[in-house]
Structure 1
Amino acid sequence: MGFGHLLEMRVRFLPTQMAYWLMENFDYKTSELLIDDNVKIKVTEDDVCRVFGFPKGGEEINRFLYSACNALSMQWVSLFNVRHRDNIKIKAVLDKMLGEVDGGPWFKRHFLIAMQFSLIESYPNGTVHPFVMRCLEDLNVVRKWNWAGYMLKALIQHAQSWADNGKKIFCGPILFLVLVYVDRMHMEGSNVPRTIPICVNWSGSELLQRQKLEVDKKYFGSGSLRGPIPLPAIEQLEPANVGRNVAVSFEQSPESLLRSRMLKISREIGEKARFLKSVMLEASVEHRRSLVFKECLVTCSLISGIRLVENLTESTQSEHIAAPTEVPPATVANIDTQNVCSFFP
């Protein structure tokens, strides 16, 4: 259907200060991000394709006509134990989706409805209004709909509503605006590779790091503007390719593509190391002294090749752990868990 790469997204939270600044500086009348008096970023349907890889078909998605598909809407509501469709919450939709273990038609419909709620537009009370239901009758032609245009229109409509209602709650595609901004405005110290779709390149922690870089400079918009990533050839946007996350490099040379992939791999390794470090730092003294905690250190040391543990012996290892021959003997009980975290970046 052209949405499989969304499963590779790693953003779990947003840089809220940056997001608010972007909303303050987005002109919904011209669909432009106003960075300063001399720098503007025009936000278009093509940017949706770059960020999320959404299809850009010829059929318009009209959010006000979703009830026109009455039979399918009623069938969808009947799957939930509710009296009215306005009582369906996003958690219930996700539970239904995960229950479709065979990945059949209703898994795909639940997935796209959840995607609409999470990435395009939602309601602040958590109820789900399936504005895309009309697009889900025939799942073989989902790509004929203009999903990119739908997201851009939702951004403009919700930005206007946000401005008109005291700038309280924004229910539009804020992550889209954030990713457009961090991709187009480059800052020294941010080494995220530029590939399509952009959404799989950034994690929540990297967005927070980018926000910190700008906060430290005392203001947002302090980077240098760069051009948009060239969109790939049309055959690379076909379902067989997009669903497999075909990455199109900003620079098409094999060397730059290899460098981007290596940066992505090293970044992911660093993230996992920092996560492990945070787990160790948060562990209580009592937990650090436990045999289970120390055996976890042994396992991490053997898997990662990082010398978290200075010495091991066969007699003190778990029955599922095999020590490398080059590691000198010692005991698990003598592992210094207080100094382990110094091995992590």
Structure 2
Amino acid sequence: MPREISHYLVRQFDYSKCAFTLENGEEVKIEEEDVQMILGLPRGELDIIEYENIETDDKLKAFRTRWGNPVNGAPLVPMKMIENKAADNNFKIDFVLFMVSYFLWCDHLSQVSRHRILKSISDVDNIKKFNWCKFVFEGLVNSCEKWKGNEKRHYQGPQTFLILCYVYKVSNPELGGINDYRFPILSCWNDTMLKFRLDTEWANGGFGRGSDVGRIPLSPLQNEKTTKDEGEYEETYQDRGQTRRWI
């Protein structure tokens, strides 16, 4: 993804309004529901609690024993997971940590792992019960506020979500786009399509020159949260007969 679009969107994002402004003055509102629609993440009842910077305990010590310094350990996680081969609880914890660090936060430059979430995800049975949408949404607001205090630094935040939200909610008829969206919106795009859309915008006057089309309805969308007999958390979405469950 081009660095230009990330910087553009963060500069245009007003964290006090939770919206970014297009070139025509329209404000594109972002809400927690958009995270769910775009990324398809669970939206449970538990909040994700992170370690404070100086805080430590046995769970964090165990992680450091496996991976070393969490500041530069994120790039090694997939290789080590393959080498270990065991599909145990450590595998689940490491997988979630890697996805949060590299997919949700996209902090490729500094390669810092989001190890502070170990305070919550070390209990693997609770991973599906957390409100991951709230985690990403609040992370977007807080990271944009922090970045605007020092714009010379690279942006550390949920870039993937922000860019997908932009291409989903902002339409420019001259550039074409996706007409048949499905849930989650992430599944409608691939690298080639996204690069074409953004490169075309860049070559035709720059970003932010479309209009806000809001949250495009897919079809009647139901979000049900139930607790099964064994205590498993289920989050079901029905979209054109499709059902997604987080079990």
Structure 1 length-normalised TM: 0.59
Shift of 1:194: 1.3
Shift of 1:228: 0.8
- 1:192/1:202 contact within 8 Å kept: no
Q: CA RMSD for the aligned pairs?
A: 2.9
Deviates more, 1:58-67 or 1:213-222: 58-67
**1:41 corresponding residue in structure 2:** 28
Residues 124, 221 of structure 1: CA spacing in aligned structure 2 closer, same or farther, 3 A cutoff? closer
**1:58 corresponding residue in structure 2:** 45
Shift of 1:202: 1.0
**1:168 corresponding residue in structure 2:** 153
Q: In the alignment, does 2:82 pair up with 1:95?
A: no
Q: Distance in 2 between matches of 1:64 and 1:124?
A: 22
Instruction: Decide which structure has greater helix share.
Output: 1
Number of corresponding residues: 232
| Identical residues among aligned pairs (%) | 22
User: Counterpart of 2:125 in structure 1: which amino acid?
Assistant: N
Helix, strand or coil at the partner of 2:116: coil
Rg larger for: 1
Of 207, 217, 232 in structure 1, the residue corresponding to residue 221 of structure 2 is 232
Q: Distance in 1 between matches of 2:89 and 2:38?
A: 26
User: Counterpart of 1:49 in structure 2: which amino acid?
Assistant: Q
Any unmatched runs of 5+ in structure 1?
Answer: 1-13, 258-345
Shift of 1:195: 1.5
Any unmatched runs of 5+ in structure 2?
Answer: 227-231, 243-247
Helix, strand or coil at the partner of 1:33: strand
- 1:57/1:144 contact within 8 Å kept: yes
Of 88, 113, 124 in structure 2, the residue corresponding to residue 139 of structure 1 is 124
**1:333 corresponding residue in structure 2:** none
Deviates more, 1:209-218 or 1:117-126: 117-126
Deviation per CA, 1:155-203, whole angstroms, max 9, x where unpaired? 1122122211134300111111110010011233223631121112211
Deviates more, 1:62-71 or 1:183-192: 62-71
Of 41, 66, 72 in structure 2, the residue corresponding to residue 79 of structure 1 is 66
Q: In the alignment, does 2:96 pair up with 1:112?
A: yes
Shift of 1:247: 7.6
Superposed, which structure 2 residues align to 1:238-257 within 5 Å? Answer: 248=239, 252=240
Superposed, which structure 2 residues align to 1:202-281 within 5 Å? Answer: 202-230=189-217, 232-235=221-224, 248=239, 252=240
User: Counterpart of 2:136 in structure 1: which amino acid?
Assistant: M
- 1:96/1:110 contact within 8 Å kept: no
Shift of 1:79: 1.4
Higher relative contact order by CA 8 Å / sep ≥ 6: 1 or 2?
2
Residues 131, 120 of structure 1: CA spacing in aligned structure 2 closer, same or farther, 3 A cutoff? farther
Structure 2 length-normalised TM: 0.80
